[in-house]
């Protein structure tokens, strides 16, 4: 069978030259998704080319994605990344992945044994917000999560990422091996702290001594990652095949821009990702909040109000001057004033760059894709900024409109009465609320009462409740486009 590993590729494909046979699985990555393929694995490939070191990656999908792992193995763990700018396209062959596992293909014990191998120094993750099994309201482990409950009953046969990490660390401790660093690369505020809290909360429920050992010996650096990576579509894969010269089911397309800011806190060594453009810092939090609020917050705003307004892609929303201006104002007037950044940070230049990235017509980044898992995203992308404005008595109308857009989106029916495929871990709760209220302003207080998303403080602020209700009313009476134009 011809695959990317044994077929001559087109001449314009950029291919590294380092000795791939020297790679060891020193990084275990949980979540071989689109973002990781276009971000950490690509940074690692470029780092390997410049350093000639042996930091290979073993990819593990814990949930689903068996077919992707099969395909990755069939092409010798090679795949391509297409960087699509507004005016040019680069095609890169990624060679940094040297191994892969899946509990459904290889068994749970094989995954745990791999994580426990002595050379493994980092376990990194792109498992999305819900993968941490954390309660969004408290940031602590959700002990009622079904995966966590199952893992607590049988910690030696885990299912969740948290369960796997704790059990692998137990094995390493019992074998007198150095621990690995746990590195979150998800769009979660203070992601390293969230990962640490979830791991320690779980460990304390399983084994007090183990939890103490983890707390003392394991590091959980925070990271800030940024790159727009749309989910691969049939159209994307066809374009990749034309550019590469052969089909690549693992290929992915993304924008040229990329950013990776990493807290330099590794217990067992790390690669020199900085030679490939990553930045090691003492404190990631300001950069993380800048990105979460300005990029991700405005992305969510455009996703909900854009989808309702009939726009399939983020770049489509940018063709509407009202959406374009509202997104910029959301960044500069609603989000930027809530940030405390290092001296010299130019937030206006950052906002302008974001608008330019959103406008890139080569990226087909679906509003529906960004709209997923809103219950996990809204608290981090809009909640902190909203509370800042409520305390300061400053204008937050863009945030109110964004939250109102989300509330209207989870009605699961669009403005033309077509069904919306709402993907969210709390979708059953939303459905129940809409079954009781219908698309009526009374739904606002019902949704605002969900403590896991909004806490208990916001519903007690009558001025905010009124502003949010007015924004929702405007969306349901005049439509999302008119509501955005009103800003």
pTM (2 d.p.) = 0.84
Phi and psi angles of residue 123, each rounded to the nearest 5 degrees, phi first: -110, 110
Q: Provide the domain count of the chain.
A: 2
Please compute the mean of the pLDDT values over residues 336-358 and round it to a whole number.
94
Give the tens place of pLDDT for each residue, 455-481.
Answer: 999 999 999 999 999 999 999 999 999
Q: What confidence score (pLDDT) does residue 175 get?
A: 98
Q: How far is CA 174 from its chain centroid?
A: 33
Question: Where does a domain end: 240, 258, 281?
Answer: 281
Give the tens place of pLDDT for each residue, 270-306.
Answer: 999 999 999 999 999 899 899 999 999 999 999 999 9
Give the tens place of pLDDT for each residue, 246-270.
Answer: 999 999 999 999 999 999 999 999 9
CA-to-CA dists, residue 56 to 36, 280, 341, angstroms: 14, 20, 34
Task: Report whether pLDDT(485) > 70.
Answer: yes
Q: What confidence score (pLDDT) does residue 474 get?
A: 98
Output the six-digit token pair for 250: 């693992």
Query: What pLDDT band is residue 94 in, cutting at 50, 70 and 90?
Result: very high
Based on the fold, state whether residues 291 and 366 are members of the same structural domain. Answer: yes
Based on the fold, state whether residues 299 and 177 are members of the same structural domain. Answer: no
The candidate with the shortest Cα–Cα distance to 84, out of 260, 242, 310, is: 242
Based on the fold, state whether residues 127 and 21 are members of the same structural domain. Answer: yes
Q: What confidence score (pLDDT) does residue 417 get?
A: 96
Task: Report whether pLDDT(171) > 80.
Answer: yes
Based on the fold, state whether residues 142 and 246 are members of the same structural domain. Answer: yes
Query: What pLDDT band is residue 1 in, cutting at 50, 70 and 90?
Result: low
425 touches 130 (CB < 8 A): yes
CA distance 270 to 66: 29
262 touches 221 (CB < 8 A): yes
Give the tens place of pLDDT for each residue, 299-326.
Answer: 999 999 999 999 999 999 999 999 999 9
Q: What confidence score (pLDDT) does residue 138 get?
A: 82
Question: Where does a domain end: 281, 310, 335?
Answer: 281
Question: Where does a domain end: 281, 303, 330?
Answer: 281
Give the tens place of pLDDT for each residue, 32-80.
Answer: 999 999 999 999 999 999 999 999 999 999 999 999 999 999 999 999 9
Task: Report whether pLDDT(403) > 90.
Answer: yes
* Parent domain of 301: 285-485
């Amino acid at each position: 069978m011809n695959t990317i590993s044994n077929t001559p590729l087109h001449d314009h494909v950029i291919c590294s030259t380092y000795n791939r046979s020297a790679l060891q699985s020193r990084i275990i990555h949980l979540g071989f998704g689109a973002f990781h393929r276009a971000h950490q694995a690509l940074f690692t490939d470029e780092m390997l080319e410049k350093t000639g070191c042996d930091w290979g990656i073993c990819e593990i999908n814990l949930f689903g994605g068996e077919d992707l792992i099969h395909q990755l193995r069939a092409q010798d763990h090679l795949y391509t990344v297409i960087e699509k700018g507004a005016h040019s396209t680069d095609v890169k062959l990624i060679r940094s992945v040297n191994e892969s596992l899946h509990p459904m293909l290889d068994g749970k014990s094989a995954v745990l044994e791999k994580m426990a191998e002595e050379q493994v120094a980092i376990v990194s993750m792109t498992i999305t917000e819900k993968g941490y099994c954390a309660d969004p309201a408290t940031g602590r482990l959700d002990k009622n999560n079904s995966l966590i409950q199952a893992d607590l009953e049988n910690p030696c046969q885990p299912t969740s990422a948290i369960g796997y990490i704790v059990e692998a660390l137990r094995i390493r401790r019992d074998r007198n091996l150095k621990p690995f660093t746990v590195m979150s690369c998800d769009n979660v505020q203070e992601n390293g702290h969230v990962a640490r809290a979830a791991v320690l909360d779980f460990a304390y429920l399983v084994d007090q001594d183990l939890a103490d050992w983890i707390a003392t010996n394991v590091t959980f650096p925070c990271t800030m990652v940024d790159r727009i990576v749309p989910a691969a579509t049939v159209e994307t894969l066809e374009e990749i095949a034309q550019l590469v010269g052969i089909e690549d089911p693992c290929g992915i397309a993304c924008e040229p821009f990329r950013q990776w800011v990493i807290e330099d806190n590794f217990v067992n060594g790390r690669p020199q990702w900085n030679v490939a453009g990553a930045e090691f810092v003492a404190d990631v939090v300001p950069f993380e909040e800048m990105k979460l609020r300005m990029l991700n917050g405005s992305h969510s705003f455009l996703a909900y109000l854009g989808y309702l307004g009939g726009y399939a892609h983020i770049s489509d929303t940018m063709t509407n001057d009202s959406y374009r201006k509202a997104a910029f104002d959301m960044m500069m007037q609603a989000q930027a004033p809530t940030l405390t950044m290092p001296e010299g940070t130019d937030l206006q230049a950052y906002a302008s760059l974001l608008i330019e990235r959103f406008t890139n017509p080569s990226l087909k980044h679906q509003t529906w894709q960004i709209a997923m898992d809103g219950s996990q995203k809204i608290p981090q992308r809009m909640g902190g900024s909203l509370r800042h404005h409520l305390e300061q008595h400053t204008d937050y109308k863009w945030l109110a409109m964004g939250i109102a857009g989300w509330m209207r989106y989870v009605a699961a029916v669009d403005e033309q009465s077509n069904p919306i495929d709402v993907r969210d871990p709390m979708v059953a709760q939303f459905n129940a609320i809409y079954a009781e209220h219908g698309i009526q302003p009374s739904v606002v207080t019902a949704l605002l009462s969900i403590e896991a998303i909004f806490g208990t403080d916001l519903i007690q602020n009558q001025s905010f409740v009124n502003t949010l209700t007015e924004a929702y009313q405007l969306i349901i009476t005049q439509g999302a486009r008119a509501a955005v134009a009103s800003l």
